[in-house]
């Protein structure tokens, strides 16, 4: 389908991203899968290529370009390449919004140059063993003591958790203030009492380091408070639509990539003397997938333009996230079936997509939470 949301500049950027992936990602990704973590070199290479902090002011080494479509192109191409290891989207689409909007001038000088160069890798620590989608259930505490906060708690399922140099920690600074008692603190690598647990063993996305983090009497300088004390929950709610459209757009790109390779396979793979795509059932399955993707693409690109214009509602972002992640799982499942036995072999991209993509309906807010948000928006 022809997409009219991109300009020639976006397409030139896409070619650059593809070249970057071919040189800096694809030759190493299998090793990263075995290691359970990517090399820091790819982060430095991404910084040098201008792929980190595209919307950060140029004075800090960023691109100074607030057009979300450049991040969209980057995320689409990483997804299409099956490059799930480098957590660029976590760094750019999620954490970048907090650093760009909430930092003080002093914090900007301290953190943003390294953020843009890839020298400072970032993570955000929201989920806890007993609190996932319910952010008001967070139990990690930060108690003010002089010019510091004393941080105690545990986080889990943290992307970039092993590599992160800066971790935005969601903590409760006032236990009696409900959602108004939640704040954001930036914990830096090497702070006493900050420890990383195991690199979690996942079903898929093996190259993406996902970790447990532990905070035991960590003294975080008050100068590392991100935004206002008690303003953390509001900041999270404001930035979640960006996270969700990023996940949803990547999911749709993944569905498209798997469908394209499956369509080519169905035209080439022979059974009973003819290509498997010539069998009516298989042809109907391919037709269904093509139609579902086309419908999702039309809605998603409209939502992207709304986001670029700063008009995307929380409900529409939730629709994109819910629909596209569930669609991706359905598409990939049917494509595995069309590949037959080869679809179950991890040497085939369709099999890797099957295990890597399953988490999309969970992270960034589960499908059920997305439906809850949409339903509340309907007034029910």
Angle, in degrees to the nearest 10, between helices 280-308 and 232-268: 150
Is 243 tagged catalytic?
A: yes
HEC assignment per residue over the chain = CCCCCCCHHHHHHHHHHHHHHHHHHCCCHHHHHHHCCCCHHHHHHHHHCCCCCCCCCHHHCCCCCCCHHHHHHHHHHHHHCCCCCCCHHHHHHHHHHHHHHHCCHHHHHHHHHHHHHCCCCEEEECCECCECCCHHHCCCEEEEECCEEEEEEEEEEEECCCCCCEEEEEEECCCCCHHHHEEEEEEECCCCCEEEEEECCCCCCCCCCEEEEEEEEEEEEHHHEECCCCCHHHHHHHHHHHHHHHHHHHHHHHHHHHHHHHHHHHHHCEECCEEHHHCHHHHHHHHHHHHHHHHHHHHHHHHHHHHHCCCCCHHHHHHHHHHHHHHHHHHHHHHHHHHHHHHHCCCCHHHHHHHHHHHHHCCCCCHHHHHHHHHHHCCC
CA distance linking residue 374 with residue 380, whole number of Å: 9
Burial code of 80-94, b = ≥16 C-beta within 10 A, e = fewer?
bbbbbbbbbbbbbbb
Positive or negative, the CA dihedral 348, 351, 356, 361 is positive
- Find tokens 């907090």 and name the residue: 98
CA distance linking residue 224 with residue 167, whole number of Å: 11
- Find tokens 């906060």 and name the residue: 149
Catalytic annotation, pick one of 243, 256, 268, 288: 243
Q: Which two tokens stand for residue 369?
A: 């939470």
- Please identify every residue annotated as catalytic: 243
């Amino acid at each position: 389908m022809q997409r009219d949301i991109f300009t020639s500049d976006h397409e030139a950027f896409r070619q650059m991203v593809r070249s970057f992936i071919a040189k800096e990602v694809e030759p190493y990704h299998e090793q990263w899968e075995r290691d359970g973590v990517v090399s820091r070199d790819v982060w430095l290479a991404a910084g040098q290529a201008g792929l980190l902090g595209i919307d950060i002011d140029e004075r800090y080494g960023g691109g100074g370009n607030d057009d979300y479509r450049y991040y969209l192109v980057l995320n689409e191409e990483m997804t299409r390449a099956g490059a799930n290891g480098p957590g660029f989207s976590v760094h750019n689409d999620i954490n970048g919004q907090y650093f760009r909007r909430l930092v003080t001038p002093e914090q900007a000088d301290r953190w943003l140059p390294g953020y843009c160069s890839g020298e400072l890798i970032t993570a955000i620590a929201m989920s806890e063993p007993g609190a996932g989608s319910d952010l008001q259930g967070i139990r990690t505490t930060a108690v003010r003591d002089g010019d510091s906060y004393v941080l105690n708690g545990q986080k889990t399922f943290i992307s970039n958790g092993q590599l992160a140099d800066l971790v935005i920690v969601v903590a409760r600074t006032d236990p009696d203030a409900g959602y108004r008692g939640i704040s954001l603190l930036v914990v830096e690598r090497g702070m006493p009492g900050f420890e990383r647990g195991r690199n979690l063993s996942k079903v898929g996305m093996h190259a993406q380091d996902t970790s447990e983090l532990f905070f035991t009497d960590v003294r975080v300088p008050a100068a590392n408070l991100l935004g206002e004390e008690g303003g953390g929950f509001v900041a999270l709610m404001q930035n979640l639509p960006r996270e969700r459209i990023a996940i949803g757009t990547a999911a749709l790109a993944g569905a498209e990539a798997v469908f394209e390779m499956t369509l080519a396979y169905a035209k080439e793979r022979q059974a009973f003397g003819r290509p498997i795509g010539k069998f009516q059932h298989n042809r109907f399955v391919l037709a269904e997938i093509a139609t579902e993707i086309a419908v999702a693409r039309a809605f998603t690109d409209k939502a992207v333009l709304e986001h670029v214009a700063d008009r995307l509602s929380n409900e529409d972002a939730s629709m994109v996230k819910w629909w596209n992640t569930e669609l991706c799982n359905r598409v990939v499942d049917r494509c595995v079936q069309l590949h037959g036995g080869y679809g179950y072999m991890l040497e085939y991209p369709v099999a890797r997509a099957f295990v890597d993509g399953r988490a999309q309906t969970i992270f960034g807010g589960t499908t059920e939470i997305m439906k809850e948000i949409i339903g509340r928006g309907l007034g029910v």
